[in-house]
Amino acid sequence: MLARQLLAAVCALYWPAGVAKAQDGGRAPIEPSHGSAKANAFHIFNAVHSAGRLWGSALNHNGFGFFPAVIPKGTLLYHGSRQDRPPLGLEWLALEVEHSELFSISRKQQPGGRFSSPKASDASGESGPASARAQKPLTHSDAGDGAGRGNSRGYFHTYRANRDLNLLYIDGMAAAKTTFGTLDSQDLLLRENKTGPWGDNMGDLERAGSICDMVTDWGFDGFMRVEIGFEVIYCDFSSGIDLTGVTRSLMPEDKMGTGEMLVYQVARAVTRGYDGLAGQLRLDFSGMVSGFFFPINVSNTDPGRPDLVRLAAAGMDELRDIKGYLRDVCLQPRRFTVGWQGIADSIVSRFADRLAFMASEKVSMENFVDELERATLTYFDAPSLPGDIDTESERRSSEAVDRCAEHYLLPAHVVRDDWSAEDRLIHTAIKTVARDICRSLFDVRSSLLALFPDLPPKTHRISKAGDGSELERAVINSRQVLRRLMGRLAWTEWKMIRRCPVDEMLFVSMFPFGADVDYWRPGCRRIEEMTFSRVGYWGLDRDPGNDTERRFGH
């Protein structure tokens, strides 16, 4: 295996994918392009934002992306099995205890050869998406203790990484064994159009085997996917992980409880990963390769789900080109140059609530205008002279849009000289999205300002002036503009349950603000409750005024 790996590395060095393939029938291979990164900017932005996070991966379940990933030394990984020994060769590992416990349930065989199956363990029985692999160990025969005596004993294994584990992370819900696109990046791209056979384990043993053969040649220990929980398909249990414990699970008859909460408990356990696994998974965004970087047709071939992107409309030649490109990136050293997900997060956290607020009918015209100005004027260099003319203000607005779009990318610019081609493509996509947000906000601002052509230059109280109904119509139109923007952005954040209504915020006493109640019973607070007088908990003057400013240290 090592020899093949070396050979691949040498080949990649001397014959870059492009050259090798151009001889192949004389067709020039497709390359990633900034045009594609722009055309698919919203998809790329969301793929970066959702990578390694269960929530967004469940909603955008057809993934086109691959990321080199590291699970750090010391991380615990779990496995449920019919065996009390580590599997030989490849097997599945979970990041959550409960996820693996689905596969370590013991069952007693009843007369007639059927296994007893307490209600709650139906999901882990002979059917269901996750079951086949664990109930039937994939790599060697079923010979746990009790076999032959009519018992099927389950074992729960704990492993610990004894070094950093290198994995290929496949985005979307790539462990979902479906026919509507969740397997495209594996079956069409990595496996060059092989799927099934859809037998017991839904073709997953063949899939795992062929992908392991490939990714171990690329220097990985395995690959990683998402279903109800994160899973690692680990290609060789004899390397990189140590078995730290095995427990034999009780027969259902020997337990006090019914076990009926199992599915609830598994689902609850994996919600930990909705926003990512924090320190347990590091994705190398600078090594991201996505189908969205390439000029391919990503439309769905199934008219019933036009919302779903597919790789099925792309040709096999193109998919092989992407695979070749991916292989070349994987064979290079890990980079971790830019934490692009942090940059996507900074944009989402700045604008998600503000856009939802402005798009809401509940919000008054005045609050709409206040919010709009808070979201735009940060980037607007106010006129220094009274009587600035319109063209001047046009220029200022366009500079402000640049400044606004650039703002969130500044952390990436500090290492610009080290950017990989992939960094540049992600930059193009994120900048495209940021510009759309900023452009839309400034367009809305201009449309409101246009109602007040004679507004004295120093005035900013546009909500107080002019014809109310005209302003109202303009605000209604503006909401439409912002709702369309939200449609393009399609942030999965907006599908999460809000902690507070759109016009309230979760508040805990934070110096110098906060009344007693905000310390003892933090909760949702309305706009009108949040004023400079909301003080008192921190002592000092309970009637603040300029006192508040003093306490800030100004």
Ligand X SMILES: *[C@@H]1O[C@H](CO)[C@@H](O)[C@H](O)[C@H]1NC(C)=O
Tokens in use for 429?
A: 């996509």
Complex with ligand X: residue 139 or 299, whichever CB lies closer:
299
As measured in angstroms, the least distance from the Cβ of 187 to ligand X is 9
- Single residue of 179, 247, 301, 398 touching ligand X by CB under 6 A: 301
CA dihedral of 534, 540, 544, 548, whole degrees rounded to 10: -90
Query: Which among 69-77, 153-161, 296-304, 436-444 is the span making contact with ligand X, rule CB under 6 A?
Result: 296-304
| Smallest separation, CB 542 to ligand X (Å) | 13
Q: How far is the CB of 305 from ligand X (least distance, A)?
A: 12
Q: For ligand X, what does the binding mask look like between residues 444 and 483, x meaning CB under 6 A?
A: ----------------------------------------
Indicate which single residue of 116, 139, 299, 447 sits in contact with ligand X (rule: CB under 6 A): 299
The CA distance from 438 to 127, in Å, is 50
Burial letters 354-391, b for 16+ CB under 10 A, else e: bbbbbbbeebeeebbbebbbebbeebbeeeeeeeeeee
Comparison of 188 and 400: residue with beta carbon closer to ligand X: 188
Burial 421-455 (b: 16+ CB within 10 A, else e): ebbebbbbbbbbbbbbbbbbbbbbbeebbeebeee
What is the total count of residues that contact ligand X (CB under 6 A)?
A: 8
Residue 164 or 547: which CB sits closer to ligand X? Answer: 547
Cβ closest to ligand X, residue 242 vs residue 317: 317
Which residue lies nearer to ligand X by CB, 194 or 268?
194
Output the smallest distance, CB 188 to ligand X, in A: 6
Instruction: Name the strand (E) or helix (H) holding 151.
Output: strand 151-152
Single out the segment in contact with ligand X by CB under 6 A; choices: 83-91, 295-303, 360-368, 440-448. 295-303
Full 3-state SS string of 98-126 = HHHHCCCCCEEECCCCCECCCHHHHHHCC
Cis bond before residue 512 (omega within 30° of 0): yes
Least distance (Å) between residue 206 CB and ligand X: 15
293: buried, middle or exposed (CB in 10 Å: 19+, 13-18, 0-12)?
Answer: buried
Round to whole Å and give the CA distance between 361 and 261. 40
Candidates 226-234, 266-274, 293-301, 404-412; binding stretch for ligand X (CB under 6 A): 293-301
**Smallest separation, CB 301 to ligand X (Å):** 4
- Ranges within 510-549 binding ligand X (CB under 6 A): 545-546
Nearer to ligand X, 194 or 458 (CB): 194
Q: Which is nearer to ligand X, 128 or 196 (CB)?
A: 196
To ligand X, the closest distance from the beta carbon of 201 in angstroms equals 21
Q: In angstroms, what is the minimal distance from the CB of 310 to ligand X?
A: 8
CB of 312 to ligand X, least distance (A): 6
CA distance linking residue 537 with residue 534, whole number of Å? 9
Q: How far is the CB of 192 from ligand X (least distance, A)?
A: 9
Residue closest to ligand X, measured at CB: 545
Cis link prior to 197 (omega < 30° from 0)?
A: yes
Burial of 101 (C-beta count, 10 Å sphere; 0-12/13-18/19+)? buried
Q: Give min distance, CB of 226 to ligand X, in A.
A: 24
Closest CB to ligand X among residues 13, 530: 530
How far is 107 from 152, CA to CA, in rounded Å? 5
Q: Which residues pair with 526 in a beta bridge?
A: 504
Q: Where on the phi/psi map is residue 63: left (φ > 0), alpha (ψ -120 to 50), or beta? A: beta
**Which residue from 313, 508, 510, 540 is in contact with ligand X, where contact means CB under 6 A?**
313
Reduced 3-state DSSP string for 450-506: CCCCCCCCCCCCCCCCCCHHHHHHHHHHHHHHHHHHHHHHCCHHHHCCCCCCCCEEE
Choose the stretch contacting ligand X; rule: CB under 6 A; options: 65-73, 153-161, 294-302, 392-400: 294-302
Both tokens of 5, joined, read 């790996």
Q: Rounded to whole angstroms, how far apart are CA atoms 451 and 454?
A: 9
Q: Strand 165-170 to strand 65-71: parallel, antiparallel, or no bridges (unpaired)?
A: antiparallel
Among the listed residues 110, 247, 258, 297, the single contact to ligand X using CB under 6 A: 297
**x-or-dash string of contact with ligand X, 314-353, rule CB under 6 A:** --x-------------------------------------
CA 410 to chain centre: 22
Taking the chain, what is the end-to-end CA distance rounded to the nearest angstrom? 66
Tell me the per-residue interface mask from 184 to 223 with ligand X, x by CB under 6 A, - otherwise.
---------x------------------------------
Q: Which stretch binds ligand X (CB under 6 A): 71-79, 103-111, 177-185, 297-305?
A: 297-305
Shortest approach of ligand X to residue 527 CB, angstroms? Answer: 20
CB 358 within 8 A of CB 373: no
Q: Which residues bind ligand X (CB under 6 A)?
A: 193, 297, 299, 301, 313, 316, 545-546
